[in-house]
């Protein structure tokens, strides 16, 4: 799940005091990788699938690598742990998360991305709302998580409609609080991502006003601690291949995948299947287009004063499959 603004602030503060942080338990890598420590969230579909099947344990055992798993509640604490050397690899995080980590001075390597899923986040209104186009949001109260990918989608959608963030009344709310505000009518619109998007569509009959098509690609990124990526590229290649195969399986078996994942995230299988249908799950190496959009997100947030400083995404290493 995308973290709230408060967790972003905690991440920036924690990164500044990185040396004081305590390490997660784990086996020292020593001269060669004896442990691969992976951080994940409940939304990390592909990594959780690999974990449940022990795919990586089986593939890496002949190399003498043991896999260790650590669950996080949101993306920024996960990347904080990665930067501190407490884990080696991060499961997917949303596209707005890496710029915050980089702005805090994190040394991260882009390992993989899922191809764009622009329909997996959207601006929604209630079914009976008179609002039919983004321009009609002028003067309205709009809910979204500050600094999330939804925030970037708002900026892009407003700009396309000839408006700016100053033309609306932002309500910076967590998904749970935003949904409550949306359903009681105290906000005119809500900008949200899947599976929350699928849930509010199915359960509250929300109507999509504008999704990310042509505005925000909504890529998911997998990152590694740069020292690990430099010295253990062969381990990352095993993980990459396993993730790619897992993504292919989810898309080929949508009903089975949804039934498997639904209990883990507390949603019904039909809602999970609807959300999964909008997400590509196509794992690829990180290309120039993906990095260019990372830079656009970073620049947009820097202009808004959400990032503490400008970020040069091109300065971050990118792992390439051999």
pLDDT, residue 34, reads 81
Residue 10 inside a domain? The answer is yes
pLDDT tens figures, 296-322: 999 999 999 999 999 999 999 999 988
Residue 320 lies in a domain: no
Inside any domain, residue 322: no
Q: How many domains does the chain have?
A: 2
Q: How far apart are CA 98 and CA 83, in angstroms?
A: 11
DSSP letter for each residue of 51-96: HHHTHHHHHHGGGT-EEEEEE-SSHHHHHHHHHTTS-SEEEEEETT
**Measured between alpha carbons, how far is 104 from 101 in angstroms, rounded to an integer?**
5
Domain membership flag for residue 321: no
Statement to judge: residues 150 and 93 lie in one domain: no
Residue at a domain's end among 176, 211, 246: 211
pLDDT value of residue 12: 44
List the one residue out of 122, 121, 82 whose CA is nearest residue 102: 82
Is 21 part of a structural domain of the chain? yes
Cα 245 to Cα 75, 88, 255, 317, distances in angstroms: 23, 21, 17, 24
Give the separation between CA 277 and CA 272, rounded to whole angstroms: 9
Same domain for 191 and 70: no
Structure tokens at 299: 């620049």
| End-to-end Cα separation, the chain, in angstroms | 31
pLDDT at 14: 41
High-pLDDT (> 90) share of the chain, %:
85
Final residue before a domain boundary, out of 181, 211, 241: 211
Closest CA to 74 of 57, 47, 97, 56: 97
pLDDT in tens, 172-207: 999 999 999 999 999 999 999 999 999 999 999 999
Question: Is 41 part of any domain?
Answer: yes
Strands (E), the chain: 35-40, 66-71, 89-94, 108-114, 121-125, 141-144, 169-172, 189-193, 207-211, 220-225, 283-284
Residues 135 and 101 in one domain: no
pTM for the model stands at: 0.88
Residue ranges making up the domain that contains 149: 118-211
* Residue 127 and residue 89 share a domain: no
> What confidence tier does 109 reach under pLDDT thresholds 50, 70, 90?
very high
**What tokens were used for 93?**
């995080």
Q: What are phi and psi of 309, to 5 degrees?
A: -160, 165
CB 165 within 8 A of CB 140: no
* Per-residue exposure over 105-133, b if at least 16 CB sit within 10 Å of its own CB, e if not: ebebbbbbbbbbbbbbbbbbbbeebebee
CATH number where 146 lies: 3.40.190.10
102, part of any domain:
yes
CA distance 265 to 274: 14
Mean residue pLDDT of the chain comes to: 90
Claim to verify: residue 32 and residue 134 sit in the same structural domain: no
In this model, does residue 147 exceed pLDDT 60? yes
| Whether residue 196 is found in the same domain as residue 257 | no
The answer to whether position 154 is within a domain reads yes
Do 204 and 237 lie in a common domain?
A: no
Are 281 and 198 in the same domain? Answer: no
258, 272 Cβ separation under 8 angstroms: yes
Nearest-angstrom CA–CA distance, 258 and 49: 11
Same domain, yes or no: 186 and 233: no
Structural domain ending residue among the three candidates 180, 211, 242: 211
Co-location of 61 and 150 in the same domain: no
Compute the distance between CA of residue 63 and CA of residue 86 in angstroms, rounded to an integer: 21
Structure tokens at 151: 């925030």
Residues 206 and 225 in one domain: no
Dihedrals phi, psi of 271, to nearest 5 degrees: -65, -45
Q: Are 194 and 230 contained in the same domain?
A: no
Average pLDDT over residues 282-287: 97
């Amino acid at each position: 799940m995308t973290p709230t603004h408060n967790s972003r602030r905690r991440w920036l503060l924690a990164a500044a005091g990185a040396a004081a942080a305590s390490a997660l338990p784990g086996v020292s890598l020593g001269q060669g990788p004896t442990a691969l420590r992976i951080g994940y969230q409940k939304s990390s579909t592909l990594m959780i699938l690999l974990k449940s099947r022990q795919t990586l344990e089986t593939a890496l055992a002949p190399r003498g690598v043991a896999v260790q798993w650590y669950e996080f509640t949101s993306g920024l604490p996960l990347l904080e742990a990665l930067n501190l050397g407490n884990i080696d690899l991060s499961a997917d995080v949303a596209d707005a998360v890496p710029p915050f980590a980089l702005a805090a001075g994190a040394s991260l390597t882009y390992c993989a991305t899922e191809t764009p899923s622009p329909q997996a986040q959207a601006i929604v209104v209630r079914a009976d709302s008179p609002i039919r186009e983004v321009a009609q949001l002028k003067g309205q109260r709009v809910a979204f998580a500050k600094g999330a990918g939804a925030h970037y989608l708002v900026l892009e959608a407003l700009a396309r409609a000839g408006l700016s963030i100053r033309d609306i009344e932002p309500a910076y709310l967590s998904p749970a609080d935003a949904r409550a505000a949306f359903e009681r009518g105290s906000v005119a619109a809500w900008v949200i991502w899947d599976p929350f998007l699928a849930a509010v569509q199915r359960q509250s009959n929300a109507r999509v006003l504008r999704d990310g098509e042509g505005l925000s690609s909504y890529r998911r990124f997998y990152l590694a601690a740069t020292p690990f990526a430099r010295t253990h590229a062969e381990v990352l290649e095993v993980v990459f291949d396993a993730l790619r195969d897992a993504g292919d399986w989810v898309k080929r078996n949508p009903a089975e995948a949804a039934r498997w994942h639904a209990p883990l995230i507390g949603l019904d299988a039909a809602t999970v299947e609807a959300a999964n249908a909008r997400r590509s799950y196509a794992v690829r190496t990180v290309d120039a287009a993906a990095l260019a959009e990372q830079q656009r997100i970073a620049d947009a947030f820097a202009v808004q004063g959400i990032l503490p400083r400008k970020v040069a995404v091109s300065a971050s290493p990118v792992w390439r499959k051999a």
